[in-house]
A = this chain, B = another copy of it.
Amino acid sequence: MPEKKPLILVTNDDGITAPGIRALIEVMNTLGDVYVVAPDSPQSGTGHAITINDTLYCDSIKIDKEQPQKEFSCSGTPVDCVKLAVNEILRRKPDLCVSGVNHGSNSSINVIYSGTMSAAVEAGTLGIPSIGFSLLDYSMDANFEPVKEYIKAIAIQCLNNGLPKGVVLNVNFPKVNEGEIKGMKVCRQANAHWIENFDKRVNPLGREYYWLTGEFVNEDKGEDTDEWALHHGYVSIVPVQFDLTAHHAIKDINTWDL
């Protein structure tokens, strides 16, 4: 750990009052000086959205009166929160940014839709060691107790070792009871996608509308994937990069008649 107390930024996409972020704050308070800058309302599925055509509010608030963290509630997206925190609220670059704990999975292809992971990625682009945490339980009554020790262990390793340049961590926890987690595995993102089943309805004025609902399709049988680890009771840790270049495809495209 750094000699001085580390400065830790906490955010999420379920909103600043969600049980998942309260659990994350509790763990981070044992490790450093904690600043929370998180959305004032749920922002699930916002991906890497930023607010460019609207105003942003960001107000100091106090939720847990007996806890030491400083908290700010922001009208923007998770990525806006990170940008505001780093550029307007914190006096120096944080030593660690943690996002979550998300209520629901951000494994596999879900990483690209995830506001939780996008916040972590944004901090990563600014050179901040950064981790997104998610629990495979969408309920607001989800039990975060079994995962707190793992969050702490991963955060300590990240503070001690840093992360390779251009890499952030996507950590997902299986939904199991205390003592049932089998361990942690460093994994690759499973090759999966969503098939949508839109629920078509008619509003009271007679106009058709849709609700997006979908089915997750995992095509990947690999035992080195996050999906495999989670289905077998392990915590999955996927190192994620934001250089999206498909380097292996450059040669292919160069054969085109352009």
Contacts and interface: CB of A to CB of B under 8 A. Distances in A.
A233 interface: no
A87 B194 CA distance: 11
B56 A45 contact: no
A243 B112 CA distance: 9
Where chain A touches its partner, the secondary structure class is: mixed
A118 B191 CA distance: 17
B112 A244 contact: yes
Interface string A17-42: 00000000000000000000000001
A253 to B, nearest CB: 5
A169 B252 CA distance: 12
A83 B245 contact: no
Contacts of A249: 163-164, 167, 239, 241
Contacts of A245: 188-189, 238-241
A218 interface: no
Interface residues of A, number: 83
Contacts of A42: 53
B212 A51 contact: yes
A121 B126 contact: no
A177 interface: no
A196 B87 contact: yes
A239 B112 CA distance: 17
Nearest to A82: B196
A22 B240 CA distance: 36
Interface of A: 42, 44-53, 55-58, 76, 79-80, 83-84, 86-88, 109, 111-113, 118, 121, 125-127, 153-154, 157, 161, 163-164, 166-167, 169-170, 184, 186-189, 191, 193-198, 200, 203, 207-212, 214, 237-250, 252-254, 256-258
